[in-house]
Amino acid sequence: MSVNGIGTTGYPAWQGARKAQQNAAGRSFAEQVNNVAGAKPHTSIVYMKTDDMLYSGGNGTGLSFYIKYAEGSTEDDPTVIAKGVDENGNEFEQTIHINKINPRNASLVEMTALESYMGVDKNGGLTSLPPETGMMGLHDRTNFMDMFQKQISDMKLLSQQKAAAYYGP
């Protein structure tokens, strides 16, 4: 129990939380800082969009990629190639058949391919996808339809009717 920020243990509640965090990690703050200081610096790759690309970008995890039409892509079977680096800096290449994308179980790369192929109005932003996609990795899959419904609900709750309409049908 805590009264006015003082825990029953005799020190401020926030300090107890910090001590628990240190003990749980097994290392002091100084050890963690020194560990980071000696770590290999994180580098990011950014692909500059060219005329033949449908998309070029990434998210907050370090996932960075571009999307182009694949050779042999047709109106009946629109196909794209996504190339880039995943959140760990490993290169990847994926062939994506647009008509086979299931928005109820899709990766960020697949939904970005669908968004790019459809020419979705991004309303002045970099993407039309919900903000939660900013932390998805290359192999993470989610139900984007549920994410859109949650976004619409949140916008309505905040009386943001224009934003809710943007994500709606």
d(CA 56, CA 113): 10
**Which of the two residues, 46 and 168, has the higher pLDDT score?**
46
- The pLDDT of residue 108: 93
Residues 122 and 63 grouped into a single domain: yes
Cα end-to-end distance, the chain, whole Å:
48
**Which of the two residues, 91 and 23, has the higher pLDDT score?**
91
82 domain residue, yes or no: yes
Domain count, the chain: 2
pLDDT at 132 over 90: no
Residues 113 and 149 grouped into a single domain: yes
Q: Which of 21-25, 29-33, 95-99, 130-134 has the lowest mean pLDDT?
A: 21-25
44 domain residue, yes or no: no
Residues 6+ apart with CB under 8 A from 52: 68, 69
> Where is 104: in which H helix or E strand?
none
152 domain residue, yes or no: yes
d(CA 5, CA 66): 50
Residues 32 and 94 grouped into a single domain: no
Residues 74 and 124 grouped into a single domain: yes
Residues 21 and 62 grouped into a single domain: no
Question: Band of the pLDDT at 126, cuts 50, 70, 90?
Answer: low
Residues 95 and 132 grouped into a single domain: yes
Fill in the DSSP letter of residue 10: S
43 domain residue, yes or no: no
45 domain residue, yes or no: no
Residues 23 and 93 grouped into a single domain: no
- The pLDDT of residue 140: 92
Residues 68 and 12 grouped into a single domain: no
Residues 74 and 149 grouped into a single domain: yes
129 domain residue, yes or no: yes
Range of the domain at 157: 53-167
99 domain residue, yes or no: yes
pLDDT digits (tens, 9 = 90+) for 65-98: 999 999 999 999 999 999 999 999 999 999 999 9
Compute φ and ψ for 54, nearest 5 degrees.
-85, -30
42 domain residue, yes or no: no
Cα–Cα distances in Å, from 100 out to 10, 25, 26, 46, 145? 60, 43, 47, 28, 16
Structure tokens at 134: 């900013």
Residues 93 and 153 grouped into a single domain: yes
- The pLDDT of residue 125: 56
Closest by CA to 151, choosing from 167, 135, 133, 162, is 167
Report the DSSP beta bridge partners of residue 142: 106
Cα–Cα distances in Å, from 166 out to 2, 130, 147, 157? 45, 11, 14, 15
